Structure 1
């Protein structure tokens, strides 16, 4: 693929993780805009990533994981903890075991009570539903026509 002319791009998104991909999708919804997404890692179309049972394999491969660790943890005898971070299109979401959870509604309510105006569950629920697809025979409370099954 030829190198893009970044001088004529309206937007440059660095990183094709979850946030970068959503941002690029939203920005490119305006057909008049040009969006360039830069990602260091390659494709996540590997059986090792797509198969949930293989979850620990990509987390432990330098091809798919940046290999970050914490500083030595004093209360853990100086051990360093691994912090798997995805080095593929889809970022860490591609190597995290394919788990999707909305979050506890009571957490959102508490955040709003503590001052996060507009973050109550009734406010964020439509955004969750916009991303979810309703499955045949599935729960009626799950989404509508979004991309997530």
Structure 2
């Protein structure tokens, strides 16, 4: 049996009879229902947006999408960047500060991606991580310690 849930297809195996199935999902969706789902606005939850922006290697890009999650204008985010740091390192440090500063209550949901980002940042041998954490805290209005970020 195939069930459409938002934009994901769930396939139940032969073991499905042993598992309770939700009765509110239709067995099949007609084209109008599929179009209705396609027309839904993108998720606005900032944590989900930030998670979706992380690259497979563990870093974030310094772009307008990240600035939107941080609720800062792109030019302000770029202007606060220490001169000697790479954009991706700066963006990743900002993302980590934001997670620790604003989404600590959901740490279980983002802890692994945070560890991956911290590992990526360390591998970059960036010369000014402490300076970036300080500048990021100032920009975001946080007081997260470098050690709390795993750096």
**TM-score, length basis structure 1:** 0.24
Q: Counting helix residues as a fraction of each chain, which structure ranks higher? A: 2
**TM-score, length basis structure 2:** 0.24
Greater RCO structure (CA 8 Å; 6+ sep): 2
